[in-house]
């Protein structure tokens, strides 16, 4: 089953890559197939989350198939109408980079183990600056010692205190998911390359650094006697959410096309015929006054360009 799911997953990633870089009308069919495969892959995770008693992720995986098939339908419409709907391409490029980065690292033990060990050592170093006595134990591959992951056992590096294992650093503790998702949003825009590089230069190291702070806060509080559920699910996830919101606001400010493309995704239910202008109703929910100034400038520049043409 694991092999079959990996085949679905990486076939989808390859098709997204084709959809991101191929210059041909059939690119829409590649993206449509990729969304369908992704929908099947994530929907197949539903029983596992139900068994684990994880209702939030179970709901997300259950909704993935209809949601991704909806995107596949709109790619099919783009093929039929022979048009490029920018927000759909933006999503496909983002899916390619986010899934490609995360799952390649996740499936290759040498990469995931190396990243886990790096984060564990940085976390222990910061902890020792606050309260000496922390160290990193031996990396445990959970039986995944070959070139490719063969089971779902977590690869981890234990953080020790006084010679006893305290917590385990796993891939979810490395900020790889957050880095992959936020960084993957940037390549799909048509903003200037220098501005894209600036955004990546802000997002990637800041996300990594703030994740280390989160790890230190969670472990320090837990070592001090606070309940794990409180420090991990409450404090830790709260800090992660706050950092993500701030970084996304910075990204929207520097790359206004992010806002336009995300708005265009929510416009898909109104896309009934060729030539749908997803920019026309920017700020539909909050009104025109809610538009960021950078978005207003982008729209004005586009309108001037249309008049000149």
Strand order in the sheet with 134-136: 134-136, 157-161, 164-169
Residues 114 and 161 in one domain: yes
Residues 18 and 77 in one domain: yes
- E-only strand ranges, the chain: 134-136, 157-161, 164-169
Residues 72 and 117 in one domain: no
Domain's final residue, options 125, 148, 172: 172
Domain's final residue, options 46, 67, 84: 84
pLDDT value of residue 305: 52
Q: In Å, how far are 71, 81, 308 from 276, measured between CA atoms?
A: 15, 11, 21
Give the model confidence (pLDDT) of 100-124 as tens digits: 999 999 999 999 999 999 999 999 9
If one counts the domains in the chain, the total is: 2
Note whether residue 55 is domain-resident.
Answer: yes
pLDDT at 262 over 50: yes
Note whether residue 248 is domain-resident.
Answer: no
Note whether residue 24 is domain-resident.
Answer: yes
Q: What is the mean pLDDT of residues 133-162?
A: 94
Residues 68 and 114 in one domain: no
pLDDT value of residue 285: 40
pLDDT value of residue 288: 41
191 pLDDT band, cuts 50/70/90, is confident
- CA separation for the pair 58, 42 (Å, rounded): 10
Note whether residue 147 is domain-resident.
Answer: yes
Work out the mean pLDDT of the chain and round it to a whole number.
Answer: 89
pLDDT value of residue 109: 97
Q: What is the mean pLDDT of residues 89-109?
A: 96
Residues 73 and 115 in one domain: no
Note whether residue 185 is domain-resident.
Answer: no
Question: What whole-number percentage of the chain has pLDDT above 90?
Answer: 67
64 pLDDT band, cuts 50/70/90, is very high
Checking phi first, is residue 235 left (phi over 0); if not, alpha (psi -120 to 50) or beta?
A: alpha
279 pLDDT band, cuts 50/70/90, is confident
Q: In sequence order, which residues have a C-beta less than 8 Å from that of residue 114 and are 6 or more positions away? A: none
Note whether residue 308 is domain-resident.
Answer: no
The CA-based diameter of the chain, rounded to the nearest angstrom, is 71
Note whether residue 242 is domain-resident.
Answer: no
Residues 1 and 75 in one domain: yes
Domain, as residue range, for 166: 110-172
Domain's final residue, options 143, 172, 201: 172
Note whether residue 132 is domain-resident.
Answer: yes
b/e burial code for range 266-305 (CB count within 10 A of at least 16 → b):
ebbeebeeeebebbeebeeeeeeeebeebbeebbeeeeee
- CA separation for the pair 268, 73 (Å, rounded): 10
pTM: 0.87
pLDDT value of residue 287: 44
pLDDT value of residue 296: 53
Q: Specify the residue for token string 């679905």.
A: 8
């Amino acid at each position: 089953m694991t092999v079959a799911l990996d085949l679905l997953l990486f076939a989808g990633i390859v098709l997204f890559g084709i959809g991101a870089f191929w210059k041909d009308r059939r690119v829409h069919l590649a993206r449509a197939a990729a969304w369908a495969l992704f929908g099947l892959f994530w929907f197949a995770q539903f029983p596992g989350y139900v068994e684990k008693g994880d209702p939030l992720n179970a709901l997300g995986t259950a909704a993935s198939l209809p949601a991704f098939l909806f995107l596949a339908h709109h790619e099919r419409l783009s093929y039929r109408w022979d048009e490029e709907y920018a927000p759909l391409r933006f999503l496909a490029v983002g899916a390619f980079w986010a899934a490609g980065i995360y799952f390649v690292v996740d499936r290759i033990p040498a990469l995931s183990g190396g990243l886990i060990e790096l984060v564990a050592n940085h976390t222990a170093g910061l902890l020792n600056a606050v309260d000496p006595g922390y160290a990193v134990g031996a990396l445990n591959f959970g039986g995944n010692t070959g070139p490719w992951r063969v089971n779902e056992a977590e690869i981890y590096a234990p953080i020790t205190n006084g010679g006893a294992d305290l917590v385990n650093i796993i891939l979810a503790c490395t900020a790889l998911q957050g880095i992959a998702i936020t960084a993957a949003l940037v390549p799909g825009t048509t903003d200037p390359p220098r501005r894209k590089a600036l955004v990546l230069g802000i997002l990637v190291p800041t996300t990594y650094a703030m994740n280390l702070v989160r790890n230190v806060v969670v472990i320090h509080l837990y070592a001090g006697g606070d309940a794990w559920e409180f420090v991990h699910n409450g404090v830790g996830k709260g800090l992660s959410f706050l950092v993500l919101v701030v970084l996304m606001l910075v990204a929207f400010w520097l790359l206004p096309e992010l806002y336009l493309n995300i708005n265009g995704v929510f416009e898909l239910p109104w896309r009934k015929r060729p030539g749908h202008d997803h920019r026309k109703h920017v700020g539909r929910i909050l009104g025109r006054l809610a538009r960021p100034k950078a978005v207003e400038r982008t729209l004005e520049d586009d309108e001037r360009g249309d008049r000149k043409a």
